[in-house]
Amino acid sequence: MTQIQIDAKNQSLGRLASKVAISLRGKDKPSYKPDKLPEVQVIVKNLTQAKFTGNKYDTKVYYHYSGYHSGIRARKLSELWESRPNYVFRGMVYRMLPKNRTRDKVIKNLKFAL
């Protein structure tokens, strides 16, 4: 299994997430086959030093609905980023992967270095 290390220092998170999603699928390799799972592991370093563009850090809101009456919860991106930056970034990359059976398998190859 090949490892790709990406330094997130001073990089925009959206562009970084799309770069990671492409690498996780193996689309940057000449041996890319859409029906095969790639043997690639992506390691992201210095994630907390990445930057947000615009006013997203203060204004973006994530909603979670439990399914129960009055069960909607709202959390700002700034709150989530301070407590769980890996969770936020993994969610960004997860939503950029294709919506099929391989998505859950491919996201397991995303790792974070401290």
Asked whether 72 and 33 are in contact (CB, 8 A), the reply is: no
C-alpha to C-alpha distance for 87 and 80, rounded to whole angstroms: 8
Check: CATH 3.40.50.720 for 2-51+85-112?
no
Q: Does residue 114 surpass a pLDDT of 80?
A: no
Question: What confidence tier does 110 reach under pLDDT thresholds 50, 70, 90?
Answer: very high
Phi-psi label, residue 54: left if phi above 0, alpha if psi -120 to 50, beta otherwise = left
Which DSSP category does 36 fall into? S
Q: Does residue 98 surpass a pLDDT of 90?
A: yes
Q: Where in the chain are the domains?
A: 2-51+85-112
> Mean of the pLDDT values across residues 47-51?
95
> Mean of the pLDDT values across residues 69-96?
96
Question: What confidence tier does 1 reach under pLDDT thresholds 50, 70, 90?
Answer: confident
Question: Tokens standing for 106?
Answer: 């491919």
